[in-house]
Amino acid sequence: MPTYAYRCTECGTEFDIYQRFDEDSLTNCPRCDAPLRKLFSPTGIVFKGSGFYRTDSRKGSSTPSSKD
Ligand SMILES: [Zn+2]
């Protein structure tokens, strides 16, 4: 069942609900009855800011060159 995230345009309440495809989407806030805004990214999908990986392989043999 898909999850739809909504945000109230008035009180800022965010919530996500499970709805079937044949169900009508919510249009009004259950709290203040203000119009809701459908969010594109449900809260189940979280983009954490650690998507970059530095692969600087400086670990390991960092010993100075041995003098013979
Ligand atoms: Zn509201």
Domain boundaries, the chain: 3-39
Whether 2 has a pLDDT exceeding 80, the answer reads no
Report the separation in Å between the CA atom of 13 and the middle of ligand 1, taken as the mean of its atom positions: 6
6-61 confidence digits (pLDDT tens): 899 999 999 888 878 787 878 899 899 999 998 865 555 555 666 555 666 666 65
Q: From CA 59, how far away is CA 39, in angstroms rounded?
A: 43
- Cα 47 to middle of ligand 1, angstroms: 26
The confidence score (pLDDT) of residue 63 equals: 66
Q: How far is the CA of 16 from the centre of ligand 1 (A)?
A: 14
Q: Is 36 buried (19+), middle (13-18) or exposed (0-12) by CB count in 10 A?
A: buried
Residue 45, token pair as written in the block: 């999908």
Residue 30 CA to ligand 1 centre (angstroms): 7
pTM for this prediction: 0.50
pLDDT (0 to 100) of residue 62? 60
What distance in angstroms lies between residue 6's CA and the mean position of ligand 1's atoms? 10
